Structure 1
Amino acid sequence: MTPFSVSRWLRPEVYPLFAAMSVAIGICSFQLVRNICINPDVRVNKVARAAGVLENFEEGEKYAEHGFRKFLRKKNHEIMPSINSFFTSPK
């Protein structure tokens, strides 16, 4: 059995490791593509880089305050609100 054989690494015990690594790589890839495509501070083409530092606060605010952050802002920041209210609120 060679040290790099397929049967050694594709066992059912390592499926959770592959799943966790796939999720981590997916999150990193999403953030990389998001920053390259819509971040106002990242300029890929030469013409945009030649513009220097732009004072475009509206575009930066739009990038930072995305829809998911606005959605979470309206939510309660408790993990188990029913249990917390049961133990903290008087009867």
Structure 2
Amino acid sequence: MASPTLKRWLRPEVYPLFAAVGVAVGICGLQLVRNICINPEVRVSKETRAQGVLENFAEGEKYAEHGLRKFVRKRAPEIMPSINSFFTNPKS
């Protein structure tokens, strides 16, 4: 027999909410892991923290200009370009 709390929150209507929150938590987790693992300004080990301020501009440029940013930069800022062009350029 399920408790009243489970009956309230585990309904099919609540599943999209759980999915949206799960995706948001996943994105935050991936960003945290990305920052800890490859961000040149984050130093986790004691040896690298002792180095102080690094002037490694090439590594910072590599981190900031990742593949997704390069891909999106060449695209038009539209979500659905075919639908946008259909409604903005009607064929007379």
Q: TM-score, normalised by structure 2?
A: 0.84
Alignment of structure 1 residues 15-26 onto 2, 5 Å? 15-26=15-26
More moved, 37-46 vs 78-87: 78-87
Alignment match, 1:81: 81
RMSD: 2.2
Q: 2 CA distance for matches of 1:80 and 1:2?
A: 45
Q: Deviation of residue 75 (structure 1)?
A: 1.1
**Which residue of the partner structure matches residue 60 of structure 2?**
60
5+ unaligned residues in a row in structure 1: which ranges?
none
Deviation sequence 1:19-70 (CA, Å, 0-9, x none)? 0100000000000000000000000011000000000000000000000111
Deviation at 1:2?
Answer: 5.5
Residue 13 of structure 1 is matched in structure 2 by 13
Q: Which runs of structure 2 are paired with 1:36-75 in the superposition (5 Å)?
A: 36-75=36-75
TM-score, structure 1 normalization:
0.84
Which ranges of structure 2 fall in alignment gaps of 5 or more residues?
none
| 1:78 to partner: Cα distance | 2.3
Give the distance between the partners of 1:24 and 1:85, measured in 2 at CA. 32
